[in-house]
Structure 1
């Protein structure tokens, strides 16, 4: 059983990048796995290495214990990323991953004097706009209902009891992270912040994303795209094109 903080354990690489000029670290949503972002691996050209986090307890890390506390998860991801910060490092987090990316950015700066090139936060309220939740205390049927409402999972698979038994423990652990994190004092990061949101997201309003400006003295912008909480599925090409522009300019 592996529970360390080495980069090969924590990050998947879906494309070979022998001599990257920059790195993009992608932090998935609650219940998500690295494979959800497989298409991102070769979307940014040969100068950009894409690292997608694989949280414990799923896919090839199935036998590892879940992490259900944001502070522990952020500490371990930060430790795994630190050796990879020898080139400009950009963070992109979706939903739960946005809060995690923010916490990782703070740790890199405060503990290691490493400032990310940029922080991209997607479909998640700013840290001081979060409200306590009880998602982790819901029954299995209620959890499935929440997943169906968000629309990012092939929820038809959850009709199969065996698949439910495999999937829901990871979802519950991640929902514990989400439910027990925040609100917190808005501590500024030392890099530009880019916020992304779908215009019909059922849980996050554009104003919630605007509030990320409070932690972004180095620059802030918000981009609203058509779609719901998982707008990044329908708007993949647009998102890749615009994110590529940000990465190329390190802005």
Structure 2
């Protein structure tokens, strides 16, 4: 796959399904490195690297959600056209859940091969979050990141690292603020919603709202932990993903 947009941290054995992973706001492809190592060896885990971070830090990050979705969908469509054959699923956490969902919708509108399942984590459906992220200044963004927790906390206390990560964070929050649900036909793709039971950003009922956006099968999985529960529940999350990849209908 395109080495600019996608990263692999493992080498899949055999011709198992592909899992395309979308990071959270301010996050990078490496957020999924441990999950990639925990999933079965035949799963081809591909992690999206948004512009403006890590080895793409010289590139301008997207500040409009629609433009980011368009770019990712184009890369996935190009990969499907050149390789094809391998079934794939999308996994997105927090902002990544929204990017994954809208990417699937765009691929469907264009009549392109659909994922076998969406794994939407750490965020409710597109109408559940109405925070004015586009109005957040840097202090607001950093306060929100600290509230949500996660592995980046130490970075926020290092001025040199903060200088590197803040532009991507700022852009991602603006992209979130640019988004509004405009309606449309539900997907036909099965959906698994995942959430921590003490996430300060959302409730379990918020996670359940994803069911309204698909006519396919729906599963809800609740894990101990907060917004970044998945980093502490790797084995359980990997089991849920494996179940969803290997069956067309996970049981909630």
Q: What TM-score do the two structures reach when normalised by structure 1? A: 0.91
For residue 175 of structure 2, what is the aligned residue in structure 1? 177
Pick which of 170-179 and 182-191 moved more.
182-191
Give structure 1 regions of 4+ aligned residues with deviation exceeding 4 angstroms: none
For residue 63 of structure 2, what is the aligned residue in structure 1? 68
Tell me if structure 1 keeps the 8 A contact 2:195–2:223: yes
Cα distance in 2 for residues equivalent to 1:186 and 1:199: 30
Tell me if structure 2 keeps the 8 A contact 1:198–1:224: yes
How much is the aligned-residue C-alpha RMSD, in angstroms? 1.7
Change in 2 beyond 3 A, CA 1:130/1:198: same
Tell me if structure 2 keeps the 8 A contact 1:128–1:184: no
For residue 202 of structure 1, what is the aligned residue in structure 2? 200
For residue 215 of structure 2, what is the aligned residue in structure 1? 217
State whether structure 2 residue 107 is matched by structure 1 residue 112: no
Cα distance in 2 for residues equivalent to 1:122 and 1:212: 10
Cα distance in 2 for residues equivalent to 1:159 and 1:140: 14
User: Can you list the C-alpha shifts for 1:70-102, whole angstroms capped at 9, x where unaligned?
Assistant: 111111111111244421110011000111101
State whether structure 2 residue 42 is matched by structure 1 residue 42: no
Q: What TM-score do the two structures reach when normalised by structure 2? A: 0.91
Q: How does 1:135-214 map to 2 (within 5 A)?
A: 135-185=133-183, 187-214=185-212
Pick which of 15-24 and 33-42 moved more.
15-24
Report the CA distance between 1:20 and its aligned residue.
Answer: 2.8
Cα distance in 1 for residues equivalent to 2:126 and 2:69: 14
Q: 2:26 is matched with which residue: 31, 40, 56?
A: 31
Q: How does 1:91-102 map to 2 (within 5 A)?
A: 91-102=90-101
User: Can you list the C-alpha shifts for 1:37-86, whole angstroms capped at 9, x where unaligned?
Assistant: 11122333332110000000111111111111111111111111124442
Unaligned segments of structure 1, at least 5 residues: 1-5
How many corresponding residue pairs?
Answer: 245
Cα distance in 2 for residues equivalent to 1:216 and 1:150: 28
Change in 2 beyond 3 A, CA 1:130/1:144: closer
Cα distance in 2 for residues equivalent to 1:48 and 1:139: 40
Cα distance in 1 for residues equivalent to 2:75 and 2:5: 7
Tell me if structure 1 keeps the 8 A contact 2:38–2:234: no
Q: 2:77 is matched with which residue: 72, 79, 82?
A: 82
Report the CA distance between 1:186 and its aligned residue.
Answer: 5.3
Name the SS of the counterpart of 1:8 in structure 2: coil
Report the CA distance between 1:250 and its aligned residue.
Answer: 4.2
For residue 9 of structure 1, what is the aligned residue in structure 2? 4
Tell me if structure 1 keeps the 8 A contact 2:35–2:234: no
Pick which of 154-163 and 90-99 moved more.
154-163
